[in-house]
Amino acid sequence: MTASAPGSVAAAPRLAAGGGGAAPYIEVRGLHKRYGDTDVLRDVSFAIAEGEFVCFLGPSGCGKTTLLMCLAGLEQAQAGDILKQGASIGHLPPSRRDVGIVFQSYALFPNLTVVDNIAFGLVSQRRPRPEIEATVAELIALLSLQGHEHKFPSQLSGGQQQRVALARSLALKPSLLLLDEPLSALDAQVRTRLRGELRELQTRLGLTTIMVTHDQEEAQSLSDRIVLMNHGRIEQIGTPWQIYNQPATAFVADFIGSGNLHAGTATAGGVRVDAFVVPCHAAMAPSQALRVLMRPEDMELSATRTALSFAEGTVHQVEHLGAVVRAHLQVGAGERPGTRWVADVSKKTYAGQPFAVGESRWIGVHADDVKVFT
């Protein structure tokens, strides 16, 4: 697996950018898709390496499903191309693209048993009986469906139905697996378990996989890389580490994780937000309007002023999140409406220095941990 090292800068660990190696496994070039006069995909380009697990992530309506449909051949783009190992597949029908698809709704055949659902594609292709039986048995074991072979979909839980749907799409041994929000109809616990199983399965099979999700936590926990979309465009492509720690745009910063994202102006030594100056190292033109981002876990919260402190605020909410305690602060009240800030404190720190609603605290940050967006 391509675990991303903190601070790594390469966009794709397994992709030699610009040559040297073989062609990428899947490459999308300048894809443009319109419905009527609405542009749904605008100049979408990216490449995926063999065996990678990639998530398309973004808000509802940003074009994730449309992009997946174009890859599957179920929708046609007006411009651009899709290549597989260097050869164009953009004009092939779905049946000739060698892809498996799983949707949010399980779309199992209600009148067929688990075994018959899984075998469906193989039976349609008139494969020999022994081959079908062996493949189905293998998938039943792989997806932990033993004991459910002869049940009908209505007799299964949501998680089990989604496993059957996955087994059915894997039966034809696709070279590319496309998943459209396959976990979003499931309850939180099943969903978390199944996503772990999915990643394990994908790694074991070495199956190049693209999954659509609007859930940033899901994307971050599963992906080798994330393609983050907004309004039909790609905002950033990167590892979960890069997307969280090196967001390319304010949109990405805002969409991923929680944070303190504030409008300000460049001034000597940092960015002025309200009446305070947040320290930062970015090169900025004087008085330039920009936005600053600080992650809650990078904030320092203290009862007295420290070398890092830049503002004093009032705690107006305390959230106990388990491993951390999150303080919501109002800064600058009295003079102006002020801004709201969040700071995460580890439970150990909190136990030694608890805080409560109504109390005053200093907030501070290292200049290194402040990102600036123009």
Ligand X SMILES: Nc1ncnc2c1ncn2[C@@H]1O[C@H](COP(=O)(O)OP(=O)(O)O)[C@@H](O)[C@H]1O
Stretch of 59-67, 259-267, 293-301, 366-374 contacting ligand X, by CB under 6 A: 59-67
- 61 contributes a contact to ligand X by CB under 6 A: yes
* Of the candidates 274, 252, 250, the residue with the CA atom closest to the CA atom of residue 337: 274
In whole angstroms, how close is the CB of 60 to ligand X at the nearest point? Answer: 4
d(CA 119, CA 347): 51
Q: Is-contact 70 77, C-beta < 8 A?
A: yes
- 66 contributes a contact to ligand X by CB under 6 A: yes
Count the residues in the chain: 374
Bridge partner list, 101: 178
Round to the nearest angstrom and report the end-to-end CA distance of the chain.
35
Instruction: State the number of binding residues for ligand X (CB under 6 A).
Output: 10
Stretch of 62-70, 117-125, 300-308, 344-352 contacting Mg ion, by CB under 5 A: 62-70
- 64 contributes a contact to ligand X by CB under 6 A: yes
Question: Whose Cβ is closer to ligand X: residue 103's or residue 350's?
Answer: 103
What burial class does residue 24 get, using C-beta atoms within 10 Å of its C-beta: 0-12 exposed, 13-18 middle, 19+ buried? buried
In whole angstroms, how close is the CB of 70 to Mg ion at the nearest point? Answer: 13
Residue 35 touches which of Mg ion, ligand X, none (Cβ within 5-8 Å per kind): ligand X
Question: Whose Cβ is closer to ligand X: residue 74's or residue 324's?
Answer: 74
Stretch of 57-65, 187-195, 324-332, 359-367 contacting ligand X, by CB under 6 A: 57-65
Stretch of 27-35, 57-65, 152-160, 240-248 contacting Mg ion, by CB under 5 A: 57-65
- Residue 80 carries which side chain, given as an amino acid letter? G
Question: Whose Cβ is closer to ligand X: residue 135's or residue 236's?
Answer: 236
Structure tokens at 187: 């309850």
- 60 contributes a contact to ligand X by CB under 6 A: yes
Taking residues 27 to 46 in sequence order and writing x for each that binds ligand X by CB under 6 A, - otherwise, the string is --------x----x------
Q: DSSP letters along 126-170, please?
A: T--HHHHHHHHHHHHHHTT-TT-TT--GGGS-HHHHHHHHHHHHH
Stretch of 61-69, 100-108, 123-131, 338-346 contacting ligand X, by CB under 6 A: 61-69
What Å distances lie between residue 255 and 99, 176, 203, 328, 365, CA to CA? 30, 28, 27, 19, 21
- 65 contributes a contact to Mg ion by CB under 5 A: yes
Question: Whose Cβ is closer to ligand X: residue 71's or residue 365's?
Answer: 71
Give the CA dihedral 84, 211, 143, 135, nearest 10 degrees: -20
Distance from the Cα of residue 370 to its chain's centroid: 23
Q: Is-contact 143 156, C-beta < 8 A?
A: no
- 206 contributes a contact to ligand X by CB under 6 A: no
Question: Whose Cβ is closer to ligand X: residue 234's or residue 325's?
Answer: 234
* Of the candidates 348, 364, 239, the residue with the CA atom closest to the CA atom of residue 298: 364
- 196 contributes a contact to ligand X by CB under 6 A: no
The residue ranges that bind ligand X (CB under 6 A) are 35, 40, 58, 60-66
The residue ranges that bind Mg ion (CB under 5 A) are 65
